[in-house]
A and B are shown apart, each in its own frame.
Chain A
Amino acid sequence: MRLEHGRIALELHELTHRAGPSLLLLHALYGSSTDWGEAPAAWPGPVYALDFSGHGQSDWVVGGGYCPELLAADADVALAHLGRAAVAGAGLGAYVALLLAGARPDTVPAALLLAGAGLDGAGPVPLYDRDLPVERTESEQAQSAHDPLVWVTELTVRPVDYAASFAQRARRLLVAENGTARPPWWEALRHHPNCELVNDDVRNALQRLAGNNR
């Protein structure tokens, strides 16, 4: 279904239709709603997958301006449509899921954070030593399934205390681990009292997310 986020039209896909609690899936940087494969079968209710702006079947943002908070506002528009939903995100979508869980604890009963593209951002302090965005070329625009500009989300600072403040307010936070080194904001969540560490098998993690919904 089509949703409006300001001037941006977003596509929210309903992947499964069974009765029960809703789940909103948030894909990784450069990904789309088609990335989730068989995972939705592990969830005991309707599963929705959002295409972030600049990705999949959603609009590209005129003039760029992509950042995690903007994509979180995309997800919040989807949440407004669903009313109440658990959230699972991968990579950049995991960071967005954290923002949503902390900002909307009343309508996000639980969130699951999975690894994936776009997890790092620009680190915990602003250095501004990365390349600035340049014009999209015509061939990039013609060939790319996503807006070539979405990489600018990797320029955004992700301070540890900023991430922790969202974890502090989240109702329930599951962090999928496999022992790999992670960016500082994620490392901080490992030790946060609100976080449960789960195995990073997606189906298993979604089953854990579905259980014990307080």
Chain B
Amino acid sequence: MTEPKFPGAVPPERTSTVASVGVRLNVLEWGDPAAHPLVLTHGMWDHARSFAVLAPLLARRFRVIAVDARGHGDSSWSDAYMWFMDVADIAHVVRSLGRPTHLVGHSKGGGQATDAARAEPDRVIKLVNIDGFGPPALPDGDRPVPVRCAEFFEARRRLAQRRDWRPYKTFEDLVERRRAQNPRLTAEWLRYFAFHGGRSASDGWRWKSDPFMANGFGPWQPEWIAPSYRTLRVPMLAITGSEPDTWGPLPEAILAERLSHVPQLERCTIRGAGHFVHLERPRETADAILDFLGH
């Protein structure tokens, strides 16, 4: 099938790979290679092409580098997934540039970019976090941690039987699955997203993402976010949408408390956008980022 069109989506000008701790990361680039670098990191079950609208807007000033996280898009799979390894991957991309860079991350990629900025304060200049401030509380927080741990063990036992996604019969089935998760996004976008996030085989369509990621990222609790913000040494722009969505934004009281621990903070709320701020309001998002980063 031919690539679905989406208004404003621009294919990357260059692609390459970065080796990071046993995996090969797929990297997309827009803009002048000599311009100042800016690295984009996407969210869970997403991929670098989800920046195909935002990236060209930022590329007017920057060399924009969007990374497929391990297990996502065209990056290679791992046997196990852990938050820290994603952070290490971002740090590897940052180091590979050979000069300080800005970091812009969405959702899980925003949280991990924040940790990467903390780990590499001399290589990161400014940080933009787009609605990547964690959940309000664990969705199953009323169950004891050891019970959730036992469920994690059960899921790992089942992995021995599960090798791959079950295929969706048609491309439209794949699109429908994603629509259930992202009801605010247009059918036009979801077709573009699924085309680049899926692959077809004789028995149907599958996501490129590794199903093993469904078991989470190792030990973690929302209560650990705020204390970690205190050690952030670069300025952060926190972008959120104004509209409720299947994920985010956090209730303002929780978000404000969490962000109060960030030493150098600017905030920006984009009206009319849900969790995928950069897809629902790409121009406003790009303007806010470019204002914050300056020249």
For chains A and B in complex, what number of residue pairs have CB atoms within 8 angstroms?
148
Binds B, one of A1-9, A22-30, A39-47, A193-201: A1-9
- Interface bits A33-70 vs B (CB < 8 Å: 1, else 0): 00000000000000000000100000101111111111
Give CA–CA (A156, B219) in the complex, Å: 7
Q: What's the interface size class on B, roughly? A: 35 or more
B150 to chain A, nearest CB (A): 4
Q: Would B224 and A155 count as touching, CB distance under 8 A?
A: no
Known: A67-B219, A103-B146. A5 touches B228 (CB 8 A): no
Q: How many residues of A contact B (CB 8 A)?
A: 47
Within 8 A of A (CB), among B147-168: 147, 149-150, 152-153, 156-157, 159-160
Which single residue of chain B is at the shortest CB-CB distance from A74?
A: B156
B21 and A134 contacting across the interface, CB-CB below 8 Å? yes
| Chain A residues, Cβ within 8 Å of B85 | 63-65, 133, 152
Query: Within B125-157, which residues are at the interface with A (CB < 8 Å)?
Result: 144-147, 149-150, 152-153, 156-157
A63 contacts which of B21, B92, B149, B231 (Cβ < 8 Å)?
B21
Question: Are A128 and B80 in touch, CB under 8 angstroms?
Answer: no
- Bound form: Cα–Cα A72–B146 in Å: 12
Please report which residues of chain B, range 197-220, place their CB below 8 angstroms from some CB of chain A when the two chains form the complex.
212, 218-219
Interface of chain B: mostly helix, strand, loop or mixed:
helix
Known contacts A76-B157, A157-B224, A165-B145; is-contact A63 B119 (Cβ 8 Å)? no
Q: Are A4 and B80 in contact (CB under 8 A)?
A: no
In the complex, 27 of the A-B residue pairs with CB atoms within 8 angstroms, ordered by the A residue number, are: A5-B156, A6-B159, A61-B79, A61-B80, A63-B70, A65-B85, A65-B218, A67-B82, A67-B219, A68-B219, A69-B149, A69-B152, A70-B218, A73-B153, A103-B147, A128-B115, A129-B118, A132-B88, A134-B88, A149-B21, A152-B85, A156-B219, A157-B219, A159-B221, A162-B219, A165-B145, A166-B145
Which B residues have a C-beta under 8 Å from some C-beta of A? 19-23, 70, 76-82, 84-85, 87-88, 91-92, 115, 118-119, 144-147, 149-150, 152-153, 156-157, 159-160, 212, 218-219, 221, 224, 227-228, 231
User: What 8 pairs across the A-B complex have the smallest Cβ distances?
Assistant: A63-B78, A65-B80, A6-B159, A102-B146, A73-B156, A67-B218, A76-B153, A103-B150
